[in-house]
Structure 1
Amino acid sequence: MSCGISMVKYILFIFNLLCSICGILLIVFGALLFSNIHSIDDFAEAVRNQQVPITMIVLGAVILLISWFGCCGAIRESYCMSMTYSILLFVLMIGQLALVIYMWVHKEQYLKLMGDVVEKAWERRTRRADYMDAIQISMECCGRSSYADYSYQGFFPPSCCKDTNNCRSDTVYRRGCKGAFVDFWDRNSDIIKYSGLVIAAIEFVGFVFACCLANSIRNYRRRADY
């Protein structure tokens, strides 16, 4: 093979080796998160809690599988594995672009879904307050619409203040969590979309490299047979 194709081979191998490590880490973290989920009385709530670690494990397995084909195809100079890797990477790229386009077109629906997350956490606060507390701490907000949502109970939860030991009406966060949560995702949705496009572009470069390598392997073997 030419020097250029040999360089492409090793670039693909290193790239997919790093992706394999990322896939393994996703599987490990997903498995640890899954094992740490405690028993929950509400079955539907338990299923929802398990969706995140299961998604991490499945995504890690997919990345690991695709990267394995890429590594083996590059280092073993296998035409079949290189083409399989190209096809899988192309399918992954198309799926990712479809997701980005969906977020772009259905942005309002997506933001409404984020608002529903706060609504459900607020409705469940009497059974499990940790979801609402986590949102209030991370978003620096209080209540569903505003801090006044807690006026009926005469005190504010510690998660509504920076100073958790001294949470009073004059130190409480004024903003409601639904507005804060939706605004957060509204601000970051463009970052997610453009990051998805950049990753898809990198995947496209990997797809082109893999196709070039597979074509070079096929031509090299054809010439060797003569």
Structure 2
Amino acid sequence: MDCGTSMAKYILFIFNTIVSIIGILGIVFGVLILNSIGTIEVNGQVGFPPQALLPIVLITIGSIVVFISFLGCCGAIRESVCMTMSYAVCLLVLLILQLTIVVLLFTHKDKFNMAMGEVIDKAWESRESRKGGVFDAIQTTLKCCGRSGATDYASEFLSGGLPASCCDGSCLNISNIYGGCHDKFISVMSGRSEYAKYAGIGLIVVELVGFIFACCLANNVRNYKRRNGY
């Protein structure tokens, strides 16, 4: 094995080890966010609120990255053309998917915010969601009140006051009442999508480097085995 191939082999191994660590950190970060959001219980069913979408996506992508990086490490150490090329193809597919998501987040930010707002609007307008406690759970996790604000509960003011999830303490004190869930949810999801965009760009650059090294290593190993076959 020539010097260039050996160097590509060890660089690819070190590279994938680092990427695996990054993927594990992404999973841990996603779990921590998910834990801070918590779960909601509606009609005896336990699940995650809408704002848990991004950390779940982060955990999923982190898990895929760790698996692909492990494949790359094994391919590099074993000098397996099949494993290395499988790694390169998986990396290319992941890279294209991430690039598509990042581009969509940059070019369709207003549509993304509008879609997030519609999640709250539909939850508020759904009689089943409000009676079943879904909206109350959203208010608890987001620390918000009503769709646009406490005034959405105008009829409830006359028949018992605001729900406890609308306030930080006693609802008799106006300063304790939270703002509307529509704007709060858009703000939370928009802020997290900003982090996701730039993290995605960094990951794409790293994956592109790995893809190039994987192709070079597979090509060099294939040529080396072909020469030794004669």
User: TM-score, length-normalised on structure 2?
Assistant: 0.72
1:40-85 CA distances to partner (integer Å, 9 max, x unpaired)? 7699x98x98x96996786566435423421221110111211111
Q: Hey, what does 1:75 align to over in structure 2?
A: 77
- 2:156 is the alignment partner of 1:150: no
Unaligned runs of 5+ in 2: none
State how 1:1-226 maps to structure 2 within 5 Å.
1-3=1-3, 5-17=5-17, 22=23, 59=61, 62-122=64-124, 123=126, 124-128=129-133, 129-136=136-143, 141-154=144-157, 155-162=161-168, 164=169, 166-226=170-230
Say if 1:182 and 1:61 are closer, same or farther in 2 by CA, change over 3 A. Answer: closer
Q: What amino acid maps onto 2:138 in structure 1? A: Y
Say if 1:131 and 1:190 are closer, same or farther in 2 by CA, change over 3 A. Answer: closer
- Alpha-carbon offset, residue 196 of structure 1: 1.4
C-alpha contact (below 8 Å) 1:5/1:216 kept by paired residues = yes
Q: 1:156 is paired with a residue of what secondary structure? A: coil
- Alpha-carbon offset, residue 220 of structure 1: 2.4
Q: 2:184 is paired with a residue of what secondary structure? A: helix
Unaligned runs of 5+ in 1: none
CA distance in 2, matches of 1:184, 1:39: 21
- Alpha-carbon offset, residue 174 of structure 1: 4.9
- Alpha-carbon offset, residue 125 of structure 1: 2.8
RMSD between aligned alpha carbons? 3.8
1:132-157 CA distances to partner (integer Å, 9 max, x unpaired)? 32122xxxx32210122233223233
CA distance in 2, matches of 1:159, 1:91: 44
- Alpha-carbon offset, residue 9 of structure 1: 2.3
CA distance in 1, matches of 2:121, 2:18: 40
Say if 1:179 and 1:77 are closer, same or farther in 2 by CA, change over 3 A. Answer: same
CA distance in 2, matches of 1:11, 1:107: 37
